[in-house]
């Protein structure tokens, strides 16, 4: 079992959760290929996170069969919000929330 985390990524959690739902429970090789060809902003960070988790599995266990690895758990939590202000009409201002995400992935071998 191997884990990896990605923290403070500047993409809203609801955008990353769509991709996390897409790869959850799938074999790692298939999940990596799907993320490689998905044209959404969060696909690249998740792709790099999965590759990192595979490297962590190889480092920890030494000999890992990539065909048996699958995405056991992947969670996307909200990180801190960067609060910015935008000028509006008649001297007012509107708050712009720039959201961040924390992603945690856990890989396991199928038995």
Is 40's pLDDT higher than 80?
A: yes
Name the residue range of residue 105's domain.
2-109
The tens digit of pLDDT for each residue in 56-82 reads: 999 987 778 888 999 999 999 999 999
**What's the structural domain count of the chain?**
1
Is 111's pLDDT higher than 80?
A: no
pLDDT of residue 62: 76
Lowest mean pLDDT among 18-27, 58-67, 94-103: 58-67
The residues near 71 (Cβ < 8 Å, ≥ 6 apart) are 23, 24, 25, 26, 27, 28, 31, 50, 105, 106, 107
The pTM (predicted TM-score) of the whole model is 0.90
Interval 1-5 mean pLDDT: 93
CATH code, 10: 3.90.470.10
pLDDT of residue 101: 97
Higher pLDDT, 34 or 66: 34
pLDDT of residue 39: 96
């Amino acid at each position: 079992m191997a884990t990896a985390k990605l923290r403070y990524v500047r993409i809203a959690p609801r955008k990353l959760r769509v991709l996390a739902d897409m790869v959850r429970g799938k074999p790692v090789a298939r999940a990596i290929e799907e993320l490689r060809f998905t044209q959404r902003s969060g696909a690249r960070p998740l792709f790099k996170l999965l590759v990192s988790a595979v490297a962590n599995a190889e480092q920890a266990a030494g000999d890992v069969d990539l065909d048996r690895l699958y995405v056991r758990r992947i969670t996307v939590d909200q990180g801190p919000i960067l609060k910015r202000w935008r000028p509006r009409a008649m001297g007012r201002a509107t708050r712009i929330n720039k959201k961040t995400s924390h992603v945690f992935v856990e890989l396991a071998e199928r038995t």
